[in-house]
């Protein structure tokens, strides 16, 4: 069983700031660091470090994105399905404040130039029961879902970043949702301020066949599959940089399932991996390897 992650690759420009820049304000940053990132790339690296055999499909620009591919190769990700397209690689401008929180501005670049022809080419390499992981940072996601469903692939959707396009995708084909309260609220139309139980019930009503992981920030996460409900708390660590914590969680959860872990163990490892990631700077470089996760005491 193979794992295909069809997702974004970004160059992350991370600016250390005293506070997030306000409307009309011009502000100097304290430092700039350049990291490999993109929700797709981060999740592929996390999947691979978790032990999954993962193929990443996506696109970078003609001349500026090769270091992203190198980083993925180094982490053990199969990169031969990543194409070079004219124009720029996607990038993210990330402001990081002293508490390690961030705000992110995206430029899609090559991520938004994925074509149906590319999708068709990639999917010839996969078959029924292979996993397909998707986020919401590339073009043609609805088409990818249609074609993967026709093949009988298992579809995992992390609907992030949330926008109106998500609601136009064939969400009924999704086998696993990994999402936060805001994303859940936008999908099922229930206020995020309500009890998370109401959000989970709304999702289950709308997608009765799907397995759902709802992340609740400091309150951890809840997994639901039919009558099975599992809860997982967070591991508290000194926060350095929260970028890619969610991607690390997703990669370790799905990677764990692919290795044969039960959902409870996969959730626990995902929470530990995310905690380690927030204690380190950067996106992809903050993703821990499996040994670090399994020996993490919390």
Q: Which positions are catalytic?
A: 247
**Residue 183 binds ligand RIB, judged by CB under 6 A:** no
Chain position carrying tokens 């794992």: 3
- Sole binder of ligand RIB in the list 75, 126, 137, 158 (CB under 6 A): 137
Pick the stretch among 17-25, 35-43, 229-237, 256-264 that binds ligand RIB (CB under 6 A): 35-43
**Residue 111 binds ligand RIB, judged by CB under 6 A:** no
Torsion-angle region of residue 170: left (phi > 0), alpha (psi -120 to 50) or beta? beta
**Residue 96 binds ligand RIB, judged by CB under 6 A:** no
Which residues, numbered 76-95, are part of the site for ligand RIB (CB under 6 A)? 92
CB 44, min distance to ligand RIB, A: 12
Please tell me whether 11 is known to bind a ligand: yes
Instruction: For ligand RIB, give the closer residue by CB, 20 or 152.
Output: 20
Q: What is the DSSP string of 229-243?
A: EEEE-PPP---S--T
Q: What is the DSSP string of 4-64?
A: EEE---EEEEEEE-SSPPPTT-----SEEEEEEE-HHHHHHHHHHHHT--EEEEEEEESSS
By the 8 A CB rule, do 68 and 154 touch? Answer: no
- Sole binder of ligand RIB in the list 221, 243, 248, 250 (CB under 6 A): 243
CA distance 227 to 124: 36
By the 8 A CB rule, do 109 and 88 touch? Answer: yes
CB 261, min distance to ligand RIB, A: 23
**Residue 162 binds ligand RIB, judged by CB under 6 A:** no
Instruction: For ligand RIB, give the closer residue by CB, 130 or 137.
Output: 137
Pick the stretch among 168-176, 211-219, 241-249, 253-261 that binds ligand RIB (CB under 6 A): 241-249
**Residue 244 binds ligand RIB, judged by CB under 6 A:** yes
Chain position carrying tokens 């999704």: 174
| DSSP H or E stretch at residue 294 | helix 290-294
Q: Maximum distance among all alpha carbons in the chain?
A: 52
Please tell me whether 32 is known to bind a ligand: no
CB 58, min distance to ligand RIB, A: 12
Q: Which residues bind ligand RIB (CB under 6 A)?
A: 8, 10, 12, 37-39, 42, 92, 104, 137, 243-244, 246-247, 283
């Amino acid at each position: 069983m193979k794992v295909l992650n069809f997702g974004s690759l970004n160059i992350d420009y991370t600016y250390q700031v005293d506070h997030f820049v306000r409307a009309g304000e011009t502000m100097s940053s304290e430092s700039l660091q350049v990291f490999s990132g993109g929700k797709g790339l981060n999740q592929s690296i996390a999947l691979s470090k978790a032990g999954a055999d993962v193929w990443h499909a996506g696109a970078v620009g003609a001349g500026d994105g090769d270091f992203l591919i190198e980083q993925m190769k180094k982490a053990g990700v199969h990169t031969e399905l990543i194409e070079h397209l004219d124009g720029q690689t996607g990038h993210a401008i990330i402001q990081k404040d002293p508490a390690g929180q961030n705000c992110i501005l995206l430029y899609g670049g090559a991520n938004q130039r994925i074509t149906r022809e590319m999708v068709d080419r990639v999917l010839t390499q996969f078959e029924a029961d292979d996993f397909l992981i998707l986020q919401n940072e590339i073009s043609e996601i609805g088409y990818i879902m249609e074609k993967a469903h026709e093949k009988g692939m298992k579809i995992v959707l992390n609907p992030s970043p949330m926008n109106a396009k998500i609601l136009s995708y064939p969400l009924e084909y999704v086998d696993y949702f990994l999402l936060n309260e805001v994303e859940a609220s936008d999908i099922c139309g229930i206020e995020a301020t309500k009890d998370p139980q109401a959000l989970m019930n709304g999702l289950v009503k709308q997608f009765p066949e799907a397995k759902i992981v709802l992340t609740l920030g400091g309150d951890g996460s809840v997994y639901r599959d039919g009558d099975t409900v599992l809860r997982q708390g967070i591991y508290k660590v000194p926060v350095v940089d929260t970028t890619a914590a969610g991607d690390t969680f997703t990669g370790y959860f799905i990677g764990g399932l692919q290795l044969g872990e039960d959902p409870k163990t996969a959730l626990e490892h995902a929470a530990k991996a995310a905690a380690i990631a927030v204690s380190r700077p950067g996106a992809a470089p903050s993703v821990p390897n499996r040994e670090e996760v399994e020996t993490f005491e919390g």
